Amino acid sequence: MADYFGKDVPKLGFGLMRLPKLSDGKTIDIEQTKKMVDMFLAAGQTYFDTAYVYEGGESEKAAKVALVDRYPRNSFTLCTKLYAGICDDGKSARQQFFTSLERTGAGFFDYYLLHALGKGNIKKYDDFKIWDFVKEQRDKGLIKYWGFSFHDDHEFLDKLLTEHPDVDFIQLQINYADWESDGVESRACYEVARRHGKSIVVMEPVKGGALANPPDSVKNIFNAANPNVSAASWAIRFAASLDGILTVLSGMSNVEQMEDNLSYMKNFKPLDESEMETVHQAQIAMNAVNHIACTSCRYCVPGCPIGIPIPKIFTAMNRNLIYGKIDEAKTMYASVVSGGAGKASECIQCGQCEGACPQHLEIISYLKDCASLLEA
């Protein structure tokens, strides 16, 4: 591979978006998180990724307790993000940066991103002059490297990189299932970024966990090639094998996931030609399976006026679509909507969720399908 910014950064990044939870299902399990942080750093990995909005702000606080307060500042790198899409004015948008500094106690950020850029929210970043604000913080030494994460089509990405050629890196959703996706455009966006000479941090390499437990048709392909490695390893190594990758984020939720990821990423080796062909065959098999391509990012949830737990409902639906387990899907759905959560049939079709979805899913239509099958 040719030289590029971040070439020597260890290729596994610890995403702090899906941290382990206590028995209540809501509170971050700090002790388990500490153990995972210890394992990660002991294996020579350094890149931690959080955001102002992750876990309602608790992710950044967990980073302080589990990482920043326990390790020398020069022993790790930390990335967080500013999301202007939820702000009504520039002052509140800019305040996110200072709040993130306070929550994490990091003193500065090694990497900083404008979060989830797309045609639907770019006006706020422009009108609030967030581009200039971030560069001002860089000039003050509070940010080392900056860029943006992106959820839109490759043509819009090309426009942004043409207008902002000075970004150091960008963050893209890249995985083998979305490589040729018309909605996500993993390959097309990747190629635009590299054409502009930008290094890439990969998000969603296992598509919200979906590629860690893929359909049997995909598992069989991987097992035939190597029965001794996990399905997740194929997905993460695929992304990490691409040219220009700074690191690949994995949102690990327990010690077991950390152990598995480190088993093949501690001494990372890119996929060889035969392994790439295996992934290609898995890609074909995966795309042939009817399923809802939700990554459980939960961006659709906070603004739902009915309080519908959309990602959990889609997870239940996929138990039937992918695995053919209708009874299990109905049981899971009943559990999800118990206790007053909104049902799929209660959707008022306001469209808020579809505007917030990074995957550009037809959520309203999918909820109708879920109601028809799972509430029957």
- Asked whether the predicted pLDDT for residue 47 surpasses 80, the reply is yes
Query: Which tens digits make up the pLDDT trace of 49-88?
Result: 999 999 999 999 999 999 999 999 999 999 999 999 999 9
Alpha-carbon distance values, 303 to 65, 87, 121, 315 (Å): 29, 13, 15, 19
Mean pLDDT of 194-208: 96
Query: Which tens digits make up the pLDDT trace of 135-179?
Result: 999 999 999 999 999 999 999 999 999 999 999 999 999 999 999
pLDDT of residue 339: 79
Alpha-carbon distance values, 214 to 20, 223, 282 (Å): 21, 12, 10
Q: Which two tokens stand for residue 200?
A: 């890439």
- Asked whether the predicted pLDDT for residue 374 surpasses 70, the reply is yes
Minimal CA–CA distance to 373: which of 304, 302, 292, 300?
A: 292
Q: Cα 262 to the chain's mean position, in Å?
A: 18
B/e letters for 205-233, b = 16+ CB within 10 Å, e = fewer, are bbbbbbbbebbeebeebbeebeeeebbbb
Query: Which tens digits make up the pLDDT trace of 266-310?
Result: 999 999 999 999 999 999 999 898 889 898 888 999 899 999 999
Q: Which residues contact 222 (CB under 8 A, 6 or more apart)?
A: 229, 231, 234, 278, 282
Question: Strands, E, within 118-237: which ranges?
Answer: 143-150, 169-173, 199-203
First to last CA, the chain: 54
- Asked whether the predicted pLDDT for residue 1 surpasses 60, the reply is no
CB contact at 8 A, 238 and 218: no
- Asked whether the predicted pLDDT for residue 210 surpasses 80, the reply is yes
Return the residue matching tokens 């020597």.
Answer: 8
Q: Is 186 helix (H, G, I), strand (E, B) or coil?
A: helix
